[in-house]
């Protein structure tokens, strides 16, 4: 099937084109760093930003977090997420 958008550049407001599993790991940077996170299962999600600030978010399945997380910490995380890039 043809991609009608293949000649368009990908910008910061473009939709994601890849998705991948994220395994929460304490102190380890995500590689690649996602454009957004998609929650697969309910629970708590401990998100670390580029300044190493960690915040626990109570999340529900189907939630999109438009946040470029530096890491997802295993300690305290009970939700399952995937990265969108």
The answer to whether the CB of 70 falls within 8 A of the CB of 30 is yes
Q: What is the pLDDT of residue 61?
A: 98
Q: Please give the pLDDT value at position 62.
A: 98
Parts of the chain with a pLDDT under 70 = none
CA 83 – CA 32 distance, rounded (Å): 9
Q: How confident is the model at residue 67, as a pLDDT?
A: 93
DSSP-derived secondary structure for 1-20: ---TTTTSPP-TTSPP--EE
Q: Give me 74's structure tokens.
A: 């295993």
pTM summary value: 0.88
The number of residues in the chain equals 85
Task: Beginning with the edge strand found earlier in the chain, give each strand of the sheet holding 19-21 in spatial order.
Answer: 19-21, 80-84, 36-41, 64-65
pLDDT at residue 5, as a whole number:
78
């Amino acid at each position: 099937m043809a991609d009608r958008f293949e000649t368009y550049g990908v910008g910061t407001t473009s939709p994601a084109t890849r998705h991948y599993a994220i395994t929460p790991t304490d102190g380890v940077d995500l590689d690649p760093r996602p454009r957004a996170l998609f929650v697969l299962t309910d629970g708590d999600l401990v998100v670390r930003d580029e300044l190493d600030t960690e915040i626990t978010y109570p999340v529900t399945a189907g939630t999109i977090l438009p946040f470029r997380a530096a890491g997802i910490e295993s300690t305290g995380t009970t939700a399952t997420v995937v990265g969108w890039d």
